[in-house]
């Protein structure tokens, strides 16, 4: 059975010990090993549920944090989406494309981005890219590759977070997430915000010593993103989350 709040590698010895205790209990009143194995097979789901329930009573979670001293002073900018394409499939980011078709299109025409082409998950993200292109305070921006930061937001090693945008201004670097307003209180959104905030804290700590810019995590409701919005306005009106 797979449960996201169990570290199976760390708990392997405990799990096997619990199973051995269970087998010893069955052997105390069943006559043969075959009878014990038969019960284990026939009742495996209820047995697993009971073991998980007992483990869950003692469940705890360690606080996730980042060590600034382990950060590298330089990281290359990873490639963009990396998909195959032909020239006829590429559209200018200002082109009139139906919102429902955005995810299937590749866009170009950016002047301030770190990549020449992008794919967007929503029309809101494309509009935000236009805001960045038009923003006088924006020096550079990018939609990072999943490998760019290696931010993990849970004990599960597969729970990796990729922010939507990274934006550099004269005085700061912003890690940006554009989120549907209906999902702002979702547990996963809050976990990602916590991990990203910790990353920005660590990056700022490192840059304070090494002459770099501070980092800030910003969560923006998609309802706020409009073509005539300014980047400053969106940052100042970002969602105020209580990050645990």
Three-class SS state of 168: strand
What does the pLDDT look like over 121-151, one tens digit per residue?
999 999 999 999 999 999 999 999 888 888 8
Tokens found for residue 144 = 């990072």
Q: How many helices (H) and strands (E) does the chain have?
A: 6, 8
Share of the chain above pLDDT 90, in %: 49
82 pLDDT band, cuts 50/70/90, is low
CATH of 68-236, picked from 3.40.190, 3.30.390, 2.30.30, 3.40.1350, is 3.40.1350
Domain boundaries, the chain: 8-56, 68-236
For residue 113, the cross-strand partners are 141
Two tokens at 105? 């299109």
Dist. CA 115–CA 82, nearest whole Å: 11
Q: CA-to-CA distance for 161 and 158, rounded, in angstroms?
A: 9
User: pLDDT-based confidence at 175, cuts 50/70/90?
Assistant: very high
Does the predicted model carry a pTM greater than 0.75?
Answer: no
Which two three-digit tokens encode residue 151? 């931010």
| Segment 102-123, tens digit of pLDDT | 998 999 999 999 999 999 999 9
Place of tokens 């920005």: 200
Give the Cα separation of 64 and 66 in Å (integer): 7
């Amino acid at each position: 059975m797979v449960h996201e709040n169990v570290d199976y590698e760390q708990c392997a010895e405990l799990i096997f010990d619990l199973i051995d205790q269970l087998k010893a209990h069955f052997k105390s009143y069943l006559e043969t090993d075959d009878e014990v194995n038969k019960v284990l097979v026939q009742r495996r789901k209820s047995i697993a549920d009971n073991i998980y329930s007992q483990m869950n009573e003692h469940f705890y979670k360690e606080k996730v944090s980042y060590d600034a001293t382990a950060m590298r002073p330089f990281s290359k900018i990873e490639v963009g989406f990396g998909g195959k394409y032909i020239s006829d499939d590429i559209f200018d980011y200002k082109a009139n494309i139906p919102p429902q078709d955005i995810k299937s299109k590749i866009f170009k025409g950016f002047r301030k981005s770190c990549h020449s082409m992008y794919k967007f998950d929503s029309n809101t993200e494309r509009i935000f890219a236009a805001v960045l292109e038009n923003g006088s305070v924006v020096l550079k921006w990018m939609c990072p590759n999943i490998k760019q930061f290696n931010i993990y937001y849970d004990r599960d090693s597969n729970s990796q977070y990729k922010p939507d945008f990274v934006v550099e201004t004269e005085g700061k670097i912003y890690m940006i997430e554009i989120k549907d307003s209906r999902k702002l209180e979702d547990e996963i959104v809050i976990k990602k915000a916590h991990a990203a905030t910790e990353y920005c804290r660590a990056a700022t700590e490192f840059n304070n010593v090494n002459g770099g810019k501070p980092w800030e995590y910003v969560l923006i409701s998609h309802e706020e993103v409009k073509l005539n919005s300014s980047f400053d306005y969106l940052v100042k009106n970002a969602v105020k989350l209580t990050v645990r």
